[in-house]
A and B are shown apart, each in its own frame.
Chain A
Amino acid sequence: MSDTAIKPRIEKVPFREQVLQKLPVLLVPVLALLGLVAIGNPASWLTLTVAGLAMGMMIFIMASGLTVVFGLMDVINFGHGAFVAVGAFVGFTVLAWLAGWTASPSVMLNLAAVLIAILAAMVVTGLLGYAFERVIVMPVYGEHLKQILVTMGGLIVAQQMIYVVWGPDELHISRPEALQGSVVFGEAAIEKYRLVAVAIGLALFLAMRHVLKNTKVGLLVRAGVENGEMVEALGYRIRRLFLIVFMTGSALAGLGGVMWGLYQETITAHMGSEIMVLVFIVVIIGGLGSVEGCFIGALLVGLLANYTAFLAPKVALISTIALMVVILMWRPQGLYPVVKAK
C-alpha cells in the first residue's frame, strides 16, 4: 500500500473533551477543599480527611475485584460480600493464633502477624472464589436475573457457614500493639491504622494499574472488558482469564475484609452484605468495569461519609446515595464508563 496515496491522519480529541475526560480526577481534591472550607478547623479537617481516605481505600480494595468481574464477563456478583466476611473471620482466627505476636511490643512481629493474617485470608477467599465461580457463577453466564438470585443465595450459604464455624455472635478483633493509638501532627491526631490502610490501598491501586497497563494478563483483561469475543478470536480462553480475575477479586475482597475488620474492631457474619451497599455505590459511581473510576469513587465516598458525619450526622445517612445520584445525573454511565463492543 502506497504511503502517498493516503496521508496518515489522526483524529484529534477537542480540548474541551480532553478537559472533561480529566475532570473526575479533580473531584477528590475539590471535595477535600470544600471540606476544609465547611469544617473550618484544619486539625479536624486533617483527621477527617485521613479517616475518609482510609475508608475509601478499604472500600476500593473490596470493590476493585467486583468491578473487573462485571466488566470482563458481565457478571453481577451479589455474593461478593461473602468473601469480605470470610476474609475477616479467617484473619481473626490467624490473629488469635498469633496473639503472642500481636501483643508483643515488637513492630516487626506485629506487622508479620497482620501480614500472615492477610495472606491466609487471601488464600482462603481466593480458593472460595474458585469454588464459587465453578459451582454458582459458571452455569448462569449471560443471565443477569439468575446471577442475582444464585449469587445472593451463595452469600446466604456463606453467612450460614460462618455461623457453623465461628458461631452467631459478633467477635472482637484487636489491632496489634503497633497499630493502636494515634500519631499527632500539630493539633491533629491521626490513627496509625488509618495511615497503614491508606498506604496499603495506594500500593494496591498502583500495583493494579501497573499490571493492567504493563503485563499481557493486564492487556487481556482490558481487551476482554471491551470485547471478550474478539479476545477469544485471537486465540485466548477468556473463561480461564475470567476465573483468574474472579479468584483475584475474591482474594482482594478477603484482604479488604481483614482490613475492614481491624478498622471496625468487630466482625459479624453480615458485615459483607452490609458493606456491599457502599461497594455497589462505588462501582456504579466509577463506571462498571473501570478500576480508575472505582478508585476515585471510593475516595469520594470515604471523604464525603466522614465530612458529613462530622458536619451533619443525619445527612451522613443519605450522603453517599446523594453523591451517586449527582454523579449519575452528570455522567449517566459513571465517571469513567467502559466502552463495550456491541
Chain B
Amino acid sequence: MSDTLLSLAGVHTLIGPYHILQGVDLVVPEGGVTVLLGRNGAGKTTTLRTIMGLWTANQGEIRFDDHLITQLDTPEISRRGVAYVPEDMGIFTDLTVAENMALAASGGPMDGKRLGWIKDLFPPIGTFWEASAGTLSGGQKQMLSVARAIIEPRRLILIDEPTKGLAPAIINAMTEALRELKQTDTTILLVEQNFAMASAIGDTVAVMDDGRIIHSGQMSELVEDESLQERLMGLSLEAHQ
C-alpha cells in the first residue's frame, strides 16, 4: 500500500446556493481502507457523490489512477472500476435479489466463483436469492448493497455509512465482511460515524469539518491519541464505543 489510487485537490462543490465542499484535499492510497470521519453535515457524503460524478465539482481536480475524472459522467467513472454503496443503500426494491445482482454485473454474466464467494461472505444473499429485495430487512439490504458493489472486481469502492441504523450483531458481521474484502486488491474509501468499526478496519483516516479535510494520517495514530480525537471530533474514542 503506497501508490495513490485516488486524489482530490482543492475540490469545491456547490449544491444549489449551498457551498458544501470548500477545497477538499484528499489522498487515498492503493489497497486497504481509508476512513472519512466527521460530524453530520461536514461534507462526507458530498465528497463521495462528487467523486462518483453524481454531483459535479465546480472547482478543483479529482484523479483516479492518475487520470483526471473530474468532468466524467457517473457511468464512465463506474466503468473505470469505481463502485458506490450509497447511504440509503440504493436497492431496487421492486426487483429480486438475483435481479439486483444481475444488473450490478454490467460487464456481462455473473462470475459463478465470485458469486459463491459473495454468498459465503453474505449468507442472506443466497438464502433470499429469488425474494423481492423490498422484503429484506435493513441489514440484509445493506449486505445486498455491498454485495452488488463487489460482484465484479473493482479497484475502488466508496461506501457511505454501512452500519447506520443497524443492530450490533449486523454491524459486527459487516465489519468482518469488510475486513475480508480488505484482503483482496480492492481499495475502500469508507464514510463511517461508528469509530469502533472505523478504527477496527481503517488503515488511513481523514477527518472532515465544514467542507474541508482538517486532518489526515494513519488510523493507528488517531486511535492512540485521545487528545487528537477530542480536538478533531469533539468526542473521545470511548464515547464512540
Within 8 A of A (CB), among B155-195: 169-170, 172-174, 176-177, 180
Contact with B along A213-236 (1 / 0, CB 8 A): 000100110110111011111111
A237 to B79, CA, bound (A): 11
Given contacts A2-B173, A216-B102, A233 and B135 within 8 Å (CB-CB): no
A10 to B134, CA, bound (A): 10
Residues on A with C-beta less than 8 A from B83 are 233
A-B contact count (CB 8 A): 100
Q: How far is the CB of B100 from chain A (nearest CB, A)?
A: 8
A13 located at the interface, meaning its Cβ lies under 8 Å from any Cβ of chain B in the complex:
yes
Given contacts A5-B169, A233-B90, A223 and B103 within 8 Å (CB-CB): yes
What is the interface size of chain B, counting residues whose CB is below 8 A from a CB of the partner?
Answer: 45
A169 located at the interface, meaning its Cβ lies under 8 Å from any Cβ of chain B in the complex:
no
Contact of B106 among A12, A226, A235 (CB under 8 A): A235
Interface secondary structure of A, over-half rule? loop
Of the candidates B75, B170, B173, the one having the most CB atoms from chain A within 10 angstroms of its own CB is B75
Q: Is the CB of B94 within 8 A of A3?
A: no
Contact with B along A185-222 (1 / 0, CB 8 A): 00000000000000000000000000000001001101
Which residues of A approach B to under 8 Å, CB–CB? 1-3, 5-6, 8-13, 216, 219-220, 222-223, 225-227, 229-237, 338-339, 341-342
Of the candidates A5, A231, A235, the one having the most CB atoms from chain B within 10 angstroms of its own CB is A235
Given contacts A5-B169, A6-B173, A11-B136, A230 and B128 within 8 Å (CB-CB): no
A10 to B125, CA, bound (A): 11
Q: Is the CB of A237 within 8 A of B140?
A: no
Contact of A3 among B79, B95, B106, B123 (CB under 8 A): B123
Kindly list the 10 A-B residue pairs having the minimum CB-CB distance in the complex, ordered from nearest. Answer: A230-B90, A235-B78, A235-B106, A232-B74, A8-B127, A8-B124, A223-B92, A3-B123, A233-B84, A1-B173
Contact of B121 among A1, A13, A223, A237 (CB under 8 A): A1
Q: Is the CB of A222 within 8 A of B127?
A: no
Q: How far is the CB of B64 from chain A (nearest CB, A)?
A: 15
Q: Is the CB of B124 within 8 A of A341?
A: no
Interface secondary structure of B, over-half rule? helix
Q: Can you offer 16 A-B residue contacts whose CB atoms are under 8 A?
A: A1-B120, A1-B176, A1-B177, A8-B123, A10-B137, A216-B103, A219-B102, A223-B94, A225-B94, A229-B54, A229-B90, A234-B106, A235-B106, A235-B107, A236-B106, A237-B73
Residues on A with C-beta less than 8 A from B79 are 235
Q: Is the CB of A236 within 8 A of B75?
A: yes
Within 8 A of A (CB), among B49-75: 52, 54, 73-75
A232 to B148, CA, bound (A): 14
A65 to B219, CA, bound (A): 53
Q: Is the CB of B103 within 8 A of A219?
A: yes
A12 to B176, CA, bound (A): 28
B99 located at the interface, meaning its Cβ lies under 8 Å from any Cβ of chain A in the complex:
yes
B40 located at the interface, meaning its Cβ lies under 8 Å from any Cβ of chain A in the complex:
no
Within 8 A of A (CB), among B106-159: 106-107, 120-124, 127-128, 131, 134-137, 139-140, 148
Q: How far is the CB of A232 from chain B (nearest CB, A)?
A: 4
Q: How far is the CB of B145 from chain A (nearest CB, A)?
A: 9
A339 to B94, CA, bound (A): 8
Known contacts A8-B140, A223-B94; 17 further A-B pairs (Cβ under 8 A): A1-B176, A3-B123, A5-B169, A5-B172, A8-B124, A8-B127, A225-B94, A226-B92, A229-B54, A232-B75, A233-B54, A233-B86, A234-B103, A234-B104, A235-B78, A237-B75, A338-B94
